[in-house]
Amino acid sequence: MKAKLHLLFFLWMGSIPLFAQETIVIPEKVYQIDFAKKLIVVNKAVAEINTQWPGSKSAISLDAMYSFQTPQAIVNIGIPYVVENVSNETFTLYFTELPLIEITTENTIVDDPRVLAQFTIAEPDGTIKTHPIGIEFRGGSSQAFPKKSFRIEFWADETGAATIDFTSGGLRSDDDWNLQAMYNEPLRLRGKTNNELWRVISPLYYGALEPDAVSGVQMIYTEVFLNGDYRGVYALSERVDRKQLKLKKYNGTVRGELYKGDDWGDAVRFLDTPIADNNSEMWSGFQYDYPDEIPIDWSRLRSFVSFVVYGSDSNFFTNYQSEFEIANATEYFIFLNLLRATDNVGKNIYIAKYTSGDPYFYVPWDLDGTFGNKYDGTRVNVTNDILSNGLFNRMMQDTQLNSFNALAQQRWNELRAYNIISHDAIMDMFMENHDFLFRNAVYEREALEWDYTYNPDDITYMSDWITDRLAFLDIFFANITLSVADNFIDKNDIKMYPNPAVHEFFISNPQFQTNEVTVYNLAGQKVIQKNALDNQTAINVSGLSSGIYLVSIKTDTDILSKKLVIKRN
């Protein structure tokens, strides 16, 4: 009898699995399903899942029951799991740390106007937020890309008559947002990382007065489903506006100002000051942004551009550091050239003023065509040139002791010494964002929707490009102050005139023989070399474009350097 009881006990035990089979239960909106692509993305924290269901996980309950093809002891982010529904349809399931955004609309999304849609975001901490929004496409040339960026406005109700503020992931609270598609960024890294880098390089000069003000936009990565269609990774982005910069509001008098460099006009590049039309929100590349409580008035900005373009040397060099915030000017010049941001020389920059009587300053925007890439995402492996515009060109002509050049050199040296600008520091910022996307298998999912191939060589290319760019810029900034004093003190009685030059300039050296004159562009390239045979030598520069050059003058006793400006009529 005892043996029989033992036999029955072992038969009963054998009917129970060694580990209980468990079903993961995921709340609504914490997952999204693209039925056409057979893709499921869940952003409930895997640590919580593995704690709540510690046994062997055989299924996951979503809109229906899905069985794991192979039961899982634990689940991880970034791993594709094969699951089947009750109809034996196979889906690929991912767990992600990124917020999930669901946008649904019965309307056709266009460039303008915004149309009604429903927006839901599932935060990584399990918070669910749902709002009506107005949505439209954003961007200029980027609208030609298959993957579109969006501008969204949070509405108080479906009429859109009033807006409400929204926040996510530590971003500011606001009603107006961008969803950046990043289609032209091979690794979906440049725009987000570059804005992070700018905020480190250039804090706002009035930050102590406005602790909530931010010098550049902040972004978080998200994954977007539009009407059930997986659209890939997007960056939910703040916008540059008065609220972000905490510019002083209009109070009966104009205090804060904000203008966007929206196109390649002469004014936005500080080349000319055409007549402005106060009935238009556009002027020569600028878009009027603030103050918006009163009619458009371009006179303030036009006056500043005219000061830069046509102001006398004495007026400009005496006053430019009080008209434009000089620390911001040096930092943006450094930033522009560090990134080699060819699309951000005039266009894609905001000019702002905190309050009346304060100087203007720059705020960057749309920082995608950088670090060896053009705006369309193709490579441009150029590391040995200098980007500038009319404002910087004029500042670099200053030969005073505390000049723009001297301050730019000082700030470059500080940023290098503090390890803010170094190969490793910059690559660490890129790799932090890259590794987050990579471990979440975002690149795999991006390829499901778009013509996209993850290429690790993009990292190597960018790393090598940064190495070469820093080597060039170290030389440039080490020499940027050449001839600052020499332009005022005629050492050995050597004179160089006219300066600025148009077609030619002269070297006059009555005391010594001038043996050699060499002209270099700002890339350090030799563009003219002439052996001088007399005490007054003419140098023909008619073949050179407008800009700033360095002139090396070799005598019997010395080698002097002077700065030459060439202007074309």
179 vs 225: CA distance, rounded Å: 12
Q: Which CATH class name applies to 491-566?
A: mainly beta
Q: Please check whether residue 436 is in contact with residue 482, taking contact to mean a CB–CB distance below 8 angstroms.
A: no
408 vs 261: CA distance, rounded Å: 23
Return the number of other C-beta atoms located less than 10 Å from residue 285's C-beta: 20
329: left (phi over 0), alpha (psi -120 to 50) or beta: alpha
DSSP-derived letter for residue 231 is: E
Looking at the chain, how many residues does it have? Answer: 569
Helical (H) or strand (E) element with 11: helix 2-14
Q: Please check whether residue 282 is in contact with residue 321, taking contact to mean a CB–CB distance below 8 angstroms.
A: no
Model pTM score: 0.83
Instruction: Give the DSSP per-residue string, 483-526.
Output: TTTTTTS-GGG-EEESSSBSSEEEEE-SSS-EEEEEEEETTS-E
Q: Please check whether residue 427 is in contact with residue 461, taking contact to mean a CB–CB distance below 8 angstroms.
A: no
pLDDT of residue 358: 98
The encoded tokens of residue 148 equal 């579109």
Q: Which residue has the tokens 């002077």?
A: 562
> Taking the CA atoms of the chain, what radius of gyration do you get in angstroms?
30
pLDDT of residue 275: 96
Please count the CA atoms within 13 angstroms of the CA of 84 that sit on its side-chain side. Answer: 7
531 vs 558: CA distance, rounded Å: 15
Instruction: Give the DSSP per-residue string, 391-407.
Output: HHHHHTT--STT-HHHH
536 vs 33: CA distance, rounded Å: 79
306 vs 267: CA distance, rounded Å: 9
Task: State the first-to-last Cα distance of the chain, in angstroms, to the nearest integer.
Answer: 115
User: 248-479 has which CATH code?
Assistant: 1.10.1070
The encoded tokens of residue 224 equal 């977007």
For residue 90, the Cα-to-chain-centroid distance in whole angstroms is 40
Residue 526 pairs with which residues in a beta bridge?
520
pLDDT of residue 288: 98
Cis check: omega of the bond before 291, within 30 degrees of 0 = yes
Q: Please check whether residue 110 is in contact with residue 137, taking contact to mean a CB–CB distance below 8 angstroms.
A: yes
163 vs 128: CA distance, rounded Å: 19
pLDDT of residue 550: 80
pLDDT of residue 512: 59
Q: Which residue has the tokens 């107006």?
A: 176
The encoded tokens of residue 233 equal 């990774």
Q: Please check whether residue 153 is in contact with residue 134, taking contact to mean a CB–CB distance below 8 angstroms.
A: yes
The encoded tokens of residue 284 equal 């020569």
pLDDT of residue 39: 98
CATH 1.10.1070 residue ranges of the chain are 248-479
Residue 369: name the closest of 111, 533, 564, 140 by CA: 140
pLDDT of residue 488: 35
Instruction: Tell me the pLDDT of the chain (569 aa) as tens digits.
Output: 444 444 443 444 444 444 457 999 999 999 999 999 999 999 999 999 999 999 999 999 999 999 999 999 999 999 999 999 999 999 999 999 999 999 999 999 999 999 999 999 999 899 999 999 999 999 887 889 999 999 999 999 999 999 999 999 999 999 999 999 999 999 999 999 999 999 999 999 999 999 999 999 999 999 999 999 999 999 999 999 999 999 999 999 999 999 999 999 999 999 999 999 999 999 999 999 999 999 999 999 999 999 999 999 999 999 999 999 999 999 999 999 999 999 999 999 999 999 999 999 999 999 999 999 999 999 999 998 899 999 999 999 998 889 999 999 999 999 999 999 999 999 999 999 999 999 999 999 999 999 999 999 999 999 999 999 999 999 999 988 874 434 333 444 677 888 888 888 888 876 556 678 888 887 667 899 888 666 677 889 999 988 888 887 777 655 666 778 888 76
Return the number of other C-beta atoms located less than 10 Å from residue 491's C-beta: 13
CATH 2.60.40.3080 residue ranges of the chain are 491-566
Q: At a CB cut-off of 8 Å and minimum separation 6, what does 315 contact?
A: 307
pLDDT of residue 553: 78
Cis check: omega of the bond before 27, within 30 degrees of 0 = no
